[in-house]
């Protein structure tokens, strides 16, 4: 995929290193010949109820986040889809979000996670955010992406550490960490693409970033529980 090309080892948001050339772990979920692998078809039985709650909350919030991301890009495309400069970029990012969501949907079924009851809210809020910032202009749309992907990239990075604490030897848990790492790197790729496309020239960039970033953090906490 276009965004994956040219990825280099680099430091992101001060502390997260993206690594060149990692295999795309998530592709096992879209490969029918691997559908019966234990890593994609079973859930660990050797974890405690508390660890199960951690896994449950993590996958619920991730699925909700990927759903919202899809609707953000849908909202941006509704306004900027025909723009020669950013239209193809937004489409590329949306395509990646579609893949992320398809994988999260499979993970949700595999581990029998209850989806968020707020999925309609996530869709509407995502579309509204994408549409409204795109109406404000290309730079504001990119600033929205920059703010969202900063929070989501950090969220996935924190989750990697949380998943380490599950200490299950089940193959699905090793795979899950690899998938989360891959998605973190994709989200940080989106963040960098947005900065490269002048997100920081958006009117009231700091205010917009603060509001969008804060909204994402609140949404993460709400979807963890509901
Ligand atoms: Fe995503
Ligand atoms: Fe993203």
Residue 215 lies in a domain: yes
DSSP string of 129-163, one letter each residue: HHHHHHHH-HHHHHHHHHHHHHHHHHHHHHHHHHH
Region 96-106 average pLDDT: 96
Q: So what's the pLDDT on residue 2? A: 44
Which residues span the domain enclosing 108?
Answer: 46-225
* pLDDT of 206: 83
* Averaged pLDDT of the chain: 86
Average pLDDT for 147-163: 91
Q: 34 lies in a domain? A: no
Span 197-205, average pLDDT? 87
Q: Quote the pLDDT of residue 212.
A: 82
Average pLDDT on 122-134 reads 93
pLDDT at 17 (0 to 100): 54
pLDDT band at 217 (very low <50, low <70, confident <90, very high): confident
What's the 180 CA to ligand 1 centre distance in angstroms? 10
Does the annotation place 38 within a ligand binding site?
Answer: no
Asked if residue 7 is part of any domain, the answer here is no
For residue 136, tell me if it sits in a domain.
yes
Dist. CA 69 → ligand 1 center (Å) = 6
168 within a domain of the structure (yes/no) = yes
Domain membership of residue 62 (yes or no) is yes
Closest CA to 143 of 102, 193, 185, 199: 199
Please name which ligand lies nearest the alpha carbon of 194: 2
At residue 87, does pLDDT exceed 70? yes
Residue 96 domain-assigned (yes or no): yes
CA of 162 to the centre of ligand 2 (A): 21
Domain of 182: which CATH number? 1.20.1260.10
DSSP per residue, 40-78: HH---SSS-HHHHHHHHHHHHHHHHHHHHHHHHHHHHHH
Spacing, Cα 96 to ligand 1 middle (Å): 7
Residue 167 has pLDDT above 50, yes or no: yes
Ligand that comes closest to the CA of residue 73: 2
Whether 109 is in a domain gets the answer: yes
Residue 197 among known ligand-binding residues? no
pLDDT of res. 16: 55
The Cβ-side half-sphere exposure at 103, using a 13 Å CA radius, reads 24
- pLDDT beyond 60 at 153: yes
When divided into structural domains, the chain yields a total of 1
Give residue 188's pLDDT band: very low, low, confident or very high (50, 70, 90): very high
Condensed to tens digits (0 to 9), the pLDDT of residues 26-60 reads 999 998 898 888 899 999 988 888 889 989 999 99
Question: Who has greater pLDDT, 87 or 10?
Answer: 87
């Amino acid at each position: 995929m276009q965004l994956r090309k040219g990825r280099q080892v680099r430091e992101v948001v001060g502390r997260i290193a993206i690594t060149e050339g990692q295999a795309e772990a998530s592709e096992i979920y879209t490969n029918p010949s691997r559908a019966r692998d234990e890593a994609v078809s079973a859930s660990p039985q050797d974890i405690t109820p508390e660890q199960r709650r951690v896994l449950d909350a993590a996958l619920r919030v991730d699925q909700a986040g990927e759903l919202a991301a899809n609707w953000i890009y849908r909202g941006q495309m509704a306004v900027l889809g025909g723009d020669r400069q950013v239209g193809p970029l937004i489409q590329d990012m949306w395509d990646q979000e579609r893949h992320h969501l398809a994988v999260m949907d499979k993970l949700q079924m595999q581990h029998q996670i209850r989806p968020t009851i707020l999925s309609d809210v996530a869709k509407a809020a995502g579309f509204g955010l994408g549409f409204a910032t795109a109406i404000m202009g290309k730079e504001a749309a990119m600033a929205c992406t920059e703010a969202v992907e900063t929070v989501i990239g950090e969220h996935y990075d924190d989750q990697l550490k949380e998943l380490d604490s599950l200490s299950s030897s089940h193959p699905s848990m090793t795979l899950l960490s690899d998938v989360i790492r891959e998605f973190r790197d994709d989200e940080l790729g989106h963040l960098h693409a947005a900065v490269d496309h002048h997100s920081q020239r958006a009117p009231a960039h700091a205010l917009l970033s603060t509001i969008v970033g804060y909204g994402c953090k609140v949404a993460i906490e709400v979807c963890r529980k509901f």
